[in-house]
Amino acid sequence: WKYNEFYHVKTSCSQGPAYVCNITNLQPYTSYNVRVVVVYKTGENSTSLPETFKTKAGVPSKPGIPKLLEGSKNSIQWEKAEDNGCRIIYYILEIRDR
């Protein structure tokens, strides 16, 4: 799909005084434009103006297990944590004697 095109999205909706729809599979800390298209029995349709919203940042994942860098006596490496939209500022490496 192209950036400026709207596309159908998977939702689960409930009807009360207003329609409430939960959109699934949204990415954390991402801006979206959303609009509603209503289709009438006659086949006619009507489209709302778009609205922009931004999802909240997700919980960052844990970093990988630190390991001694192969061929090194004192360098440690680990896989970085996924930030999920919550910018990682820095890592703290802690150590203790066994």
Residue 71 in domain: yes
Tokens 């959303």 belong to 34
Q: Output the average pLDDT for the chain.
A: 91
Q: Per-residue pLDDT averaged across 63-84, rounded?
A: 94
Q: What is the pLDDT of residues 1-10, one digit of tens each?
A: 456 788 888 8
* Residues composing the chain: 98
What domain range includes position 77? 59-98
**Domain annotation covers residue 3:** no
34-53 pLDDT, tens per residue?
Answer: 999 999 999 999 999 999 99
91 located within any domain? yes
What global pTM score does this model have?
0.64
How many other C-beta atoms lie within 10 A of the C-beta of residue 98? 2
Asked whether residue 85 falls in the same domain as residue 98, the answer is: yes
Mean pLDDT, residues 23-31: 90
1 in a structural domain? no
CB atoms within 10 A of CB 36: 12
43 lies in the same domain as 74: no
Residues 48 and 74 in one domain: no
Check residue 95 and give its pLDDT: 92
Question: Do the domain assignments include residue 5?
Answer: no
Q: Are residues 50 and 72 in the same domain?
A: no
Number of domains comprising the chain: 2
pLDDT higher than threshold 80 for residue 58: yes
Please give the DSSP secondary-structure letter assigned to residue 86.
S
Given a contact cutoff of 8 angstroms between Cβ atoms, the answer to whether 88 and 63 are in contact is no
